[in-house]
Structure 1
Amino acid sequence: MLSVSRRWLLAWALFAVCDVALAAAHGEEAGEKGDMHKGHTGGMDHNASLNVPAHSDDADTYWRLTTARWLIYGHIILMVIDWVLVLPVSIMFAVAKSNLHIPAQFVFLAINGFAIFLSILYNAQTPDLYPANAHHRMGWVAVAILTVQTVVGVIFSVAKSSDAPKNEEASSLMAAATARYQRMENRQGSWNSDSAHGGSDHSPSSRSPSLEEESLYNQHEEQELKAIDEETKFEKLAKKYVPRYAIAQQWITIASVGYQISQRLLLIWTFMLIATGASTYTGVFKGGNIFTGLAHVIKGGIFFYYGIFTLGRYLGCFADLGWAWNVKPDASMVGKFRANIKSAEMVESALIFTYGFTNVWLEHLAGWGQEWHMGDLEHVSIAFWFLGGGLLGILTESEWIRGLLNNVYSEDAQIAINQYEMAVSQTVFPEKPKFRQSMNVFPSLVIFMLGILMGSHHQEKVLGTMLHKQWGLLLSGAAVFRLGSFLLVFLKPPTSYLPSRPFTEPLAAFALMAGGLVFCLSNSETINAFDAMNVDGMFAFTLSLGITALLMSYQTLVVALKGWAVKREASRSHKSVFRIA
């Protein structure tokens, strides 16, 4: 009864946080709209009509240009389908080592090629309204990476298929050797049986089967000796060319690792292509505003992908590293390299520390050589907060620091404890405490305080302040949900290699992803465009929530598709699957 009450209390508290966050975001907008005039504050009437700029043939942005609009619409739709829907499927097939990866890769290239063809036709019919934009260059870099990836993937696929006959031949040789051994055993056993029963060598009944068996044995031995001779020749050639083979294996290993890494980096490249494409299409972030756009898009993208990573951990990804809220497998199960990888909280703390260290020097980049303003000092203070919080998380995860912190008794007290343990024949204090699951709360604390700071970050327009308050509440809510995950794991530590899936993790992932999207939209250029079109703050908020829900649903389907591909490959190779349920 007590455990049920605790669960209900925890669930009520978490949902109360969500309700307060949504009510605060909506109530703030309503209060500001009722107290201030729309023309001076940016508060919008929900019933007001949108003030969308008119389209023309001489517009200064692609968004308002009417020339060949169906070409750019087709390019955008195909690119979104290709990079958001098809690419993750191809990557999951590659992770599952499925033979469907190459066909999916070719489908991705075909759609991407047709979309690029539409963009070339569009550029030929329209003027260059965004000179030296980054989207075109990044697009061609992506094409080069995809081409190299496809070629390497085909080579790996051909090499894998060519190895199959060799494996079958090796299996047949092993089977022949086993059969030969069994025949020799049977033959020796029959001789011993005949001797034991006093069989006569001069008996016709015993002489005839012996001659037949001898003939069969001779035939099998000739075939096996021939196979052994060929195997010996192969071994001689292998020994002769061992250095070349070793070098080839090193290059193959390097190419394979690079192939896997580049595929996963394409997911990040997707966000960059969409962000630069949207800015090129709408004409924002030109001139000195590029730094404002970079700051919001990069930082918002970090939280967005942090949410994707969090949802992936909940779905069972990275279980071999112990990151899926499970018991970390040892080196005998996953290999020495994976077993030595640190906890997810250690990685989070290191990234937070790196972010704080780099932003100390980058916060004043937009006003380089000019005087410092209060906003610059606020941003640098936030960078110091990330620097200190990340360092504190790293120290907490360090086994060496933990060992030093365990030296809490003096030498005399330790001697007394050892004497007591010897007297009672019982260990009072283990020499090294075991931590099955990290309880490092400092990354969550950093995110929680960042949400509070950004919620009170003053902006020139009320709409900008409202959006900052929205994504600040979302980030703070994500930190609270993560603390709920720590509480659940503390009350019931994981006991299996399978993911334990705390129910608070998808809530944290949702808050991080939605907060990252609102973060991207809270830049001054987008705020001015929203203000000019009579778009209120709830539009950006609800739009981000809707997109986040759809992407989370699709991510769940894609991870499930990877599980199906693993099961399919196991059935094709007649192997058992260790299911992550």
Structure 2
Amino acid sequence: MLRRVAFSVATAALLLGILPQVAAHGDEHMEMSAHDAPHAEPQHLDQTGSYWSHSEHAVLMYWHIGLEILAWVVVLPIAVMFSIARSRYTLFSQLAFLTINALALVLGLVYNHNTPELYANNAHGKTGWIITWIASAWVFLAIIQTYARQSRPDADLDDTTHPMTVANMARYERVHDELPNPSRFSNDSGQGTERNSASLFGHSRSPSVESEDQQFIGPTRRYTHDDDDSFDDTSEKHGFLRRASMERLFSRYGARFVAGRTLKAIRFLHLICERTVLVQGLVAIASGTVVYGGIGRGGAVFNVLAHYIKGGIFFLYGLLTLGRWMGAFADFGWAWNVKPPKEVVGRAKSAMATAEFTESFVIWLYGVTNVFLEHLAAWGDAWTAQDLEHVSISVMFFGGGLLGMIVESTKMRDLLNNAVVSSHSQANTQNESWQQPRHYRVSLNPLPALIILLLGKMMSSHHQASMLSTMIHSQWGGMFMGFAFARGLTYITLYISPPTSFLPSRPPTEIITSFCLIAGGITFMLSNKDTVAALESYDLDAMFTFTVTMGLTSLIMAWTTVTLAIKGWASRNQSRDQHAKSHAGVLA
């Protein structure tokens, strides 16, 4: 009964999300008709004005901003976490997001209709509508997948892979320790140690594994998209789609989407929307601040765009670092843990590059592309010393990123060790002195931190047009230097005591690194010329930006941690339901 109501309300939410867009098209038509009328008088607008300083109908704008922040920053992350965990609360959270976002869009349309256009041809409106359509499509694809799971509950079950649970890792370590040769993988041994062997994933367990299973309740088979969302009885085998009208509707128009390549394409599109919708929301919020503040007009758009893009990259880098500390990428070996083998996480995840290699690659890619973009704001003019400074920074990123990728290469490390390895005989292979050092199991690559340290030092001493701009640049430069020092302490700690577990080690210094990156990224975005000029016009100093940024960073990190905890709670409940259902099936 609960699911039937959820589906009906979710469908209504989709329609509600479309209504503001239809109204927007109607509003555009009305504006075009008004401009085409011969008796209309042109309005002379102040091109330097901004919505920030426009006092008429300001309450509508405040409500629009508040509801959009509530929708995209509070509700949407919870909906994404529920969707990733395949929770039964996914549709309810998506409904709440679409409803709040639709209400905010309606208020925005009313505000635009009652105020003059102070930022002609801005990108925020277009970007907002595109992202709203994508978010609505994400919910629609989720409904189709739910119907597919209800109509084909046993389709495409994956029985050959296993989740990275403590029990599975303990089983792997138990079998691995029993092998006579510790350098040989478990799938190279004899009977009973293959990936799908009954002795490896069967019921013959040690007491420690039994206790771990009691602590981490969950099925031994990995949960897939096609599993049922909860433990349903026979009378509600179709869940919330059991209502006759809805079932006929989806049976007529949705049957073609629940099988074959079409369903795979829907799953792929849903995954893309699910993993990128939060970044899209960040783009919409950032463009909204530009339009609301009235900055980035004319040629100044390049300076604002450069600061927003670069600062946004460091902001996301900080969130990624915080996720690594929380263990979000433990199956990749990115959570400061020992990288699990393919017997535990599968072939694809075990082949994933290290986090330091990824960081070095991004740094290298930035250096390659940005060499050609530093002179874009003054295209056709003579090169200045400041342009050459920026190009030199790009070259540093190019070389430092390339060196970082070389350091991460295991083949390169083997070639460097060849001078020593080739001199010893095969008879001494088992000698402990010829074994690889313990810290080889974890990546200790200081190059990304070094590059960002140098960038922070350069920006801290970078000459600017005003004292306020110099101080703001010094703030985010100091934050990046703090990131590098904290990351260096992490590497020193791991070099002295390398991790020995597949579980996240959570070095406390990584909280500092993520804080410095997030705060530095926000301050980076604020350091553009137009924003600095606006701050100076209101007689605001650098301490204002510093204190506001620190408080905002703390709130963002706290909320991010809460959302990841919500995902863990939803995943645990979902695993418990699946565990109960599997036992009920055995008893039946």
Q: TM tier, shorter chain?
A: 0.7 to 0.9
Instruction: Tell which has more relative contact order, 1 or 2 (C-alpha 8 A, sep 6+).
Output: 1
Q: What is aligned with 2:428? A: 421
TM-score by length of 1: 0.72
- The 1:427–1:542 alpha-carbon spacing in structure 2 relative to 1, beyond 3 Å, is closer
TM-aligned CA deviation for residue 165 of structure 1? 7.7
Which residue number in structure 1 is paired with residue 540 of structure 2?
535
- Alignment RMSD: 2.6
Q: Does 1:160 align with 2:165?
A: no
2:519 pairs with 511, 514, 517, which one?
Answer: 514
Within 1, Cα distance between the matches of 2:529 and 2:324? 34
Answer whether contact 2:338 2:502 (CA < 8 A) is retained: yes
Q: How does 1:51-70 map to 2 (within 5 A)?
A: 60-70=49-59
CA distance 1:419–1:126, shift in 2 (3 Å): closer
CA contact (8 A) 2:337 2:505 kept: yes
Could you tell me how far apart the structure 1 residues matched to 2:516 and 2:454 are? Answer: 15
CA distance in 2, matches of 1:454, 1:403: 38
Determine the structure 1 residue equivalent to 2:339: 328
The equivalent of 1:211 in structure 2 is: none
- Aligned residue pairs total 441
Could you tell me which residue of structure 1 aligns to residue 478 of structure 2? 473
By percentage of residues, which structure has more helix?
Answer: 1
Deviations 1:178-236, CA, capped at 9 Å, x for gaps: xxxxxxxxxxxxxxxxxxxxxxxxxxxxxxxxxxxxxxxxxxxxxxxxxxxxxxxxxxx
Deviations 1:328-377 (A, max 9, x none): 11112211111111111111011000111110001111111111111111
> 2:63 corresponds to which residue?
74
Are 1:144 and 2:133 counterparts?
A: yes
Aligned residue in 2 for 1:354: 365
Secondary structure, in 3 states, of the residue corresponding to 1:85? helix
- Equivalent residues in 2 for 1:167-566 (5 A)? 248-409=259-420, 414=423, 417-418=424-425, 421=428, 426=431, 428-430=433-435, 435-566=440-571
Partner of 1:188: none
C-alpha deviations, 1:105-128, integer Å up to 9, x for none? 111111111111111111111121
| CA shift for structure 1 position 435 | 2.5
Instruction: Say whether the 8 Å CA contact 1:86–1:104 is kept in structure 2.
Output: yes
Compared with structure 1, are the counterparts of its residues 327 and 431 closer, same or farther at alpha carbon in structure 2 (3 Å cutoff)?
closer
In 1, the alpha carbon distance for the partners of 2:341 and 2:154 equals 34
Measured in 2, the distance between the counterparts of 1:332 and 1:277 equals 47
C-alpha spacing 1:552/1:167, structure 2 compared with 1 (3 Å): closer
Gap change, CA 1:154 and 1:455, over 3 Å in 2 = same
Q: CA deviation at 1:292?
A: 0.4
Unpaired runs of 5+ in structure 1?
1-55, 169-243, 577-581
What amino acid does structure 2 have at the position aligned with 1:87? L
> Quick one: which amino acid aligns to residue 310 of structure 1?
T
CA distance in 2, matches of 1:464, 1:520: 12
Task: State the shift of 1:390 in Å.
Answer: 0.5
Q: Distance in 1 between matches of 2:435 and 2:565?
A: 42
- Match in the other structure for 1:183: none
The separation in 2 between residues aligned to 1:250 and 1:561, in whole angstroms, is: 33
8 A contact 1:63–1:281 mirrored in 2: yes
Instruction: Give the direction of change, closer, same or farther, for the CA distance of 1:250–1:335 in structure 2 (3 Å limit).
Output: farther
1:431–1:545 distance in 2 versus 1, CA, 3 Å: closer
With over 3 angstroms needed to count, the CA separation of the structure-2 counterparts of 1:398 and 1:119, relative to structure 1, is same
Q: Contact between 1:57 and 1:65, CA under 8 Å: does it hold in 2? A: no
Q: In 2 relative to 1, CA 311–496 (structure 1 residues): closer, same or farther, beyond 3 Å?
A: same
Kept in 1, the 8 Å contact 2:131–2:281? The answer is no
Residue 121 of structure 1 is matched in structure 2 by 110
Report the structure number with the largest CA radius of gyration.
1
Match for residue 120 of structure 2 among 131, 134, 138: 131
Task: State the distance in 1 between where 2:111 and 2:436 align.
Answer: 70
Indicate the percent of aligned positions where both proteins have the same amino acid.
Answer: 41
Which residue of 2 is the match for residue 87 of structure 1? 76
Q: Deviations over 1:39-58 (max 9, x none)?
A: xxxxxxxxxxxxxxxxx999
User: Are the equivalent residues in 2 in contact too, given 1:58–1:65 (CA < 8 A)?
Assistant: no
